[in-house]
Structure 1
Amino acid sequence: MSSGSDSEEEFPVYDFLQAGRRGSQANRAADLVFLDSSDTDVASLSSLPAAEPAAAAGVPSVDVMMLSSDSEEEAPYVPLARRLKQRQAVVSIVRNANDSHRSPPCYPQQPLPVQTGVTAAEERTALKSWPPPTTLTASTAGTSKACPAKSTVAGQSIKTGREEVNRRDRGDKENRKVELERQKAERKAQQEAAKALRPEECIKHMVVVVDPGLVLLEGGGSLLTSLQELGCSCAIEKQPLPRSISWLRRAPSQQIGEESSVPEAHVVIQMTADDFIALVHNYSQEQRHGKTGQGPGLSCWVQELQTRNPGRIISLAVVDLEKHYRAQKAHGQKRGGGAKRSRKPQAEPPPDVSRVDVEEAVVHLQLHTGVQVRFLAAWKDFSDHIAMTTKAIAEAPFKHDRDNTGFSFCLESEWAGGQKVDRLGKGLLQVWKRQIQQLNRVSPDMASAILGAYPSPQLLKQAYRGCRTDRERTSLLSELLIRRGEGVTATSRRVGPELSRRLHLLLSSEDAQQTLDSTA
């Protein structure tokens, strides 16, 4: 055969080849499975036969059997559906191996569409794009939600826990901050309150409340001027007691810039001489003659005020009482001297009240009610009395705290600080004097007399050692002269044996339980 006539020559036909060819085509037709895209729900891949070992191992297969002159044997034909099933089995094996390391997203199971008449290139393209992207429907949404990643749930729990801890920490910090601010405000209020009680600051926090009826009297202007010079505040308000003066103390509050006013218990009532004499006259009539119809006496009137104002410490201030005595004396002189009759109507004579009657009424008032009465000569004296009372009320809390030391005895203010002694010994003389004054019933004049004779304890002990008997030692200081006052009013007396004996025991006794006072 020549090469030029290959296309025109016809190969011989053998019957055994035709029979084999027809048999292979029949087998192939029997093995093929035709699927339509509309039957994907019915013809699933689960109904396909299991993959052969050769296909599962990745042995390539062809969809068309080719004959060549080199091989006379016929290769087995594998349908497309079976090969896709084998490829799906391989993909499943790979996925199961990867699931042990990570959790892949859950894809819904969908059957692979199988079409007939596809080429090898189209098959490879379909395999590369498997699995196809799917859209979650109502049926597949539940499957997707049922497969959340464990790491996402754990991360969300950790995030929620951290937010809760941070929120709790912020709340604790805010509470601590509020508590610190409250404590700081309390400390500041306590410091301001302690500062307000000092003698140089307390008068600035006092408010004097004056009744308007008292301001309209003769001495109202001088009273306001005196209070202004004192440095305190003044308020004019209607008072429950007529012509009275009360006090308020401004105390610092915990709120910044705010103050609270605390009322004081003291109240001073100003009384004219005529009103006071009328009350004393009624009291005298009750005590002497038993007459009670003219009006209440001084004690009854004050008791009624105390009943209407419980908790108040009332005191009375009577201005110009001598005016009554002068008018009473003038009336007596006119009546006894036979004065000529005049056409002018005569004034009503003042009540017949003597100084003794006034003293008896005041003593009875103090014993039964505890109310003090202060007699003042003029309105200027009344203004000074109110200013002095204001200062005493302002300094009362400070003095009370200072004297409340917890000791059964009270020391003077100059004793509390001690006596300062410098390096040269200046001040030792005053120390020795104070040691002597610590003894009971020893006045500064008595200590000065002993100090003049024996300026130091060492000199006094030397004098004791120079005595021969104990009697001489105990009476060594008894003849020392004590001088009191100066000029024509000066007096003198002796130290006496009692003080001399006590001082000797103080310096010589070695018994810690020794009693110095013989009367103890």
Structure 2
Amino acid sequence: MAEPRSENGSEEELPSLSSLLELHKPSPSRPPSLDPEAVVVSSGGEEAEEEVVVLEEVAALRGRGAAREGAGSEPCWQPDGGLCRSGDLVAPGGEGLWGDPAPSGGGCWGGENNICGAEGPALPVGQDEPSSPLVSRASTEASLPPKKKRQYSQREREAVCQAAWERRKEREAKRRLQEEEKERKRALAKTLKAQRPGECQKYITVVLDPVLLQVEGGEQVLRALEAANYSCVVENQAVPCSISWRRKTVSSQVGGGDEWTEEPNVLVLLGLGEFLSMAQSYKQKVDSCTEGQKMTLQSYVAHVMEKLPGKILALAVVGVENYFRSLRVRSKQRLQQATVPGNQEEQRKGRKRKINDSGLELTRMNMEEALVDLQLCTQVQVSFFDSCEELGEYATMFTKAVAEAPFKREREDTGFSFYLEKRWCGGVKVDHSGRGLLKVWNRQIQQFNRVSPAMAEAIVSAYPSPQLLIQAYGKCSSDQERENMLANIPVHRGEGVTATSRRIGPELSRRIYLQMTSHNPDLCLDFTG
């Protein structure tokens, strides 16, 4: 075996790497690891024999050595180099792990048995870095201390916590708003559903006065309402023989409870005799031109409205037609008795009875005069029925009308201060392809005063869209020409021999021109209305 020489020429005998490795035999209690990851170390001499050092064994030894050092044990060094307790390689006579010189004396092998004083395996590691054996990068990285995490100051930690808390509050507020919006839409949908026909009857309660059930026709009214599945209650009313309604209001506010509200409508049942007496009092008042002591229909309504301010009153009477039929029958009987010769005494009694009953008899003309006066002065209408069954049906229809009143008012609320015909309320349906725009343009022309459908159709036929009309105005050379551009468009009305023809005229042509080109929102197009 060749002996390497140093640079200064002195000969120095060094042990071979194989002889050193033969001394390094693993402890029986700890078999060597079979990990394929290893480091190859070359001796650099003539013997080019490759030896394998298991890295896992070295890492385990270093870990146990560091644990023992943390427990307070003294570090142990190899006198002639080798492995220290931490598992690091130390050269003979060299420095320790952190640059301290290795102490002399007994060595310590950092195996599982932690046997000190025995000679542990030593590797020849020189002090100069180029002459040291090659060690893998993995072992170098394993020997480095772990990187410390960044330490945040108290102010930085508070700022991070505050930002996280703000983000959490924003998310909760957004989620809360979304839930409230859903609840509001759900409550609004429930309110609209409660107003629809077929559903609104479930939220109506009919309130009957106890006196109504004691007079003729009251029982029929109650049976008819119950047969129509309406909720009925019997309570004392301010006006005897009256019917009122109570609605269960579904709140559209989130968290709002249901409330009961009184409907403004009131239906009062008048007896036949009471009604005839009031109508007769009006006749006597008109004939004598003085204020009578008896109550008329007008004074009765005023008395009721004092007890029920703000209510919409309606009156119902049963048997008026039967009364007039009986009057006609009695009149015929009297005529027959007058034509048949009989006892003079019976004729005298008949004349006296006629004189006494003449004040109680009321003609149809007298009754109509009293009703007209009542409607003109108080806007109260009186409904007449031949039977109690008809009265029950009327009460059922009245209840249905009261229940559907909010829905109908909402449907008829078009947002305009003027009345719209039914065909105008629905508007014109326009699809995605543009079908229906021609009808919209026709409707816009008809909104001008004194424009018939035939005139609008003539203008739309000449200029099928507002854009085409604007382009035609742009081709004119003067304002006078633009104002009279539509004046000569013919308007055909009728068919056959009754067909007529006329022109649009300068007045309508001027109004359409101003409406299409003016930028003044307060410009009056038609002074005549």
TM-score calculated relative to the size of structure 2: 0.49
Q: Which has the larger radius of gyration?
A: 1
**Comparing both structures, which one devotes a greater share of its residues to helix?**
1
TM-score calculated relative to the size of structure 1: 0.49
